[in-house]
Amino acid sequence: METNEEKRRIDEEAKISATFQEILDIYLASQHRRKVELITKAFNFARQAHKGVRRQSGEPYIMHPLAVARIVCAEIGLGSTSICAALLHDVVEDTDYTVEDIRNLFGEKIAQIVDGLTKISGGVFGTQASVQAETFKKLLLTMSEDIRVILIKIADRLHNMRTLSVMPVNKQYKIAGETLYIYAPIAYRLGLSRIKTELENLSFRYEHPEEYEKIQKKLAKTQIERDQLYNEFITPIRRELDKMGLTYRIKGRLKSPYSIWNKMQTKQVAFEDIYDILAVRIIFTPREGRNENNECFNVYIALTNLYNVHPDRLRDWVNKPRANGYRALHATFMSKHGEWIEVQIRSEQMDEIAEKGVAAHWKYKSRDNSNGKDELLDDWLHTIKEILDDPQPNALDFLDTIKLNLYATEIFVFTPKGDIITMPQNCTALDLAYSIHTFLGNHCIGAKVNHKLVPMNHVLQSGDQVEILTSNSQHVQASWLSFATTAKARAKIQAALRREQRKIQREGEEKLNAFLEKENLANFANNIEKIWVHHHLNDKEELLTAIGNGTITLGEEDKEALLGNNKRRFSFFFFNKEDKKEENKKENNITTFDAIDRKATLRLTDENLQKDFVIADCCHPIPGDDVLGYYDDEKHIIIHKRQCPVADRLKSSHGDRILSVVWDTHRAHQFVVPVNIQGIDKIGLINQITEIISQQMNVNIQKFEFENKNGVFDCNVWLNVRDVNDVKLLCDKLKGVENVKSVARID
């Protein structure tokens, strides 16, 4: 009689075999070359290599490579090389096998991809800034060498996100934050719209579970109403397309919970005020002998006979695709009930490229007897390589620079000769200068836009004709970083500034060495440290810069500091600095981070809130907000709202320092919260607002700002509240004031 253990083993083996067979069936149904033997060989090798190992969920480890291979095959549409690499992606990292073993058994290409995946294993980020930057550079380098590396890595991350529930909460925040910060934007940039949406939703679900559930329930509650609107809207469309003799399918596209929540946050509106939750997608097969681009416009014209079209919301991604290869015609129509509904018109080929991204794009390129290259993707990868040539020393700046170009919406501008250049939305004339050539950017003094002279910070609009103006006497300024928006421009500006700083520091070093030699003093590290401490600077680099640009002139005082004649003054400064730190800690009543269980959820109570934690100034979290903890270099635990941009960067860069925390307060403390009020001004309005806040709600006003422009007022008020319910009640009350049009908490 078989034991429970044997039964479990037999069931697991059957599940493993069935999952692998499913992958083979999907692969055989595709148009890829038949290499079943190679895939089977990779599966058997990986199965043996991971034998006896289990995931945190308790299932056999081989189920993870199988799941990644299935995503690679079914959801991205890659072939045998990628499927094999997905099956083998953890073998080198987790077992005694080497890349050389993979090369001998499976060939150079598969070994190269597995090697690339091994280099970027364990997530993009480590615990130290230098490790993070280096690991992320490896990811980008392997991406530019073989795009399949990052596609498999995205599949790996997607499966990890699908099984994230087994991880501790603080790890969930780290992985979800990293996913939202880097992986979702990269998936978008590579055209994997379905995977990008799922990564965003899963991150949202784990970071804000209550908000996620609320939106899901509201979507379910309004489902019947939406279905009725959808059916009424598409019925006449079907009749019109049938008359045209088109083969087509129509489906509704529901805005994702994350997109809804994100819009609620950025626009400060309620769920009920979001009007683009429903969109309609028309996917057709072009009629024989008809051009698919023209067919998109034929469908559009047919729809204009049925519904009024919004004049400002026509988006032609058919003739000028997005940088990720996406092609479709977007138009917004007014339904018979007065709702605006977006319609996305695309061919079957366009639809597959939209869902499967770069893999499908290359497939169709090769089918069309092209060279299989994607110029838009190649341009982007070339920009990445340029940035890697001279990366920022700060890991977070480096990540932000790369990320700038991941989610950018494109506009099209023209050169004086009529050539079209694709640029990110909200770019400036300076960004365009750098996109054309580094020399143009470094010496840019302005531009002519549509034959009118404009400054270099002028924001370009789609359709502008732009001529860049330069001068050899112009030099890069640090202030340019405040309006440069593209990754390439910012990277080139920072590189030029660093070159200039290195030049200044070299001059400073020469002056320092000359001073030490003149005074017969040794060029020891501790001597140089005494000088920068004497001048109240932070390090040697600051000292050399200050000497080089003439801010500091070395003289008798520096000599005395080195020889010890001014020892008392030096010691006083040094030790006083440390005493001040301790004094500040006592003053703020903050205890340093000690031995706590980082996997456990910390409770923010009325007792420990004042002495053990610091409330972040960047996002003003209060009881009721979804929050997390981050312990800094001085081991203080800082409390941030989970959607705070600063927290997003910390989750992505210092994930091992993220802690799970929950509120357990009982309205014993007050917290400062900024609220924005807007509307039409009238006499006595300020009095009405302050009366509601102070008299009716008994809330103390800490600060009040009011501005009137042409009869429209904008008011910011800082209030002392106890939790989010106080803020909600107050906002609801203020919304009831006549002429007040919007009230929202400022994040």
Q: List residues with catalytic annotation.
A: 93-94
3-state secondary structure labels for all residues of 159-204? HHHHCHHHCCHHHHHHHHHHHHHHHHHHHHHCCCHHHHHHHHHHHH
575 contacts: CB under 8 Å, gap ≥ 6: none
Pair 227, 237: CB distance under 8 Å: no
Q: φ, ψ for residue 387 (rounded to 5)?
A: -65, -35
Place of tokens 């790996």: 156
Could you give the CA distance from residue 194 to residue 650 in angstroms, rounded to a whole number? Answer: 27
Could you give the CA distance from residue 261 to residue 225 in angstroms, rounded to a whole number? Answer: 20
From the list 292, 286, 358, the residue with the least C-alpha distance to 322 is 358
Could you give the CA distance from residue 678 to residue 480 in angstroms, rounded to a whole number? Answer: 33
From the list 609, 619, 617, the residue with the least C-alpha distance to 661 is 609
148 contacts: CB under 8 Å, gap ≥ 6: 78, 81, 82, 85, 113
Could you give the CA distance from residue 184 to residue 196 in angstroms, rounded to a whole number? Answer: 5
Pair 84, 42: CB distance under 8 Å: yes
DSSP bridge partners of 412: 422
DSSP bridge partners of 279: 253, 342
Could you give the CA distance from residue 539 to residue 529 in angstroms, rounded to a whole number? Answer: 7
Pair 139, 186: CB distance under 8 Å: no
Where are the strands (E) in 643-699, listed by range?
A: 658-664, 671-680
Could you give the CA distance from residue 292 to residue 297 in angstroms, rounded to a whole number? Answer: 9
β-bridge pairing 601-605 and 627-631: unpaired
Q: H-type helices in 245-274, by residue range?
A: 257-267
Could you give the CA distance from residue 24 to residue 39 in angstroms, rounded to a whole number? Answer: 8
Pair 414, 465: CB distance under 8 Å: yes
| Per-residue CA distances from 223 to 220, 263, 465, 489 (Å) | 5, 20, 46, 46
Could you give the CA distance from residue 280 to residue 230 in angstroms, rounded to a whole number? Answer: 8
Could you give the CA distance from residue 218 to residue 203 in angstroms, rounded to a whole number? Answer: 19
Could you give the CA distance from residue 567 to residue 572 in angstroms, rounded to a whole number? Answer: 8
β-bridge pairing 601-605 and 420-424: unpaired
224 contacts: CB under 8 Å, gap ≥ 6: none
- The one-letter code for the residue type at 131 is V
**Size (the chain), residues:** 747
| Per-residue CA distances from 618 to 182, 612, 621, 723 (Å) | 22, 19, 9, 17
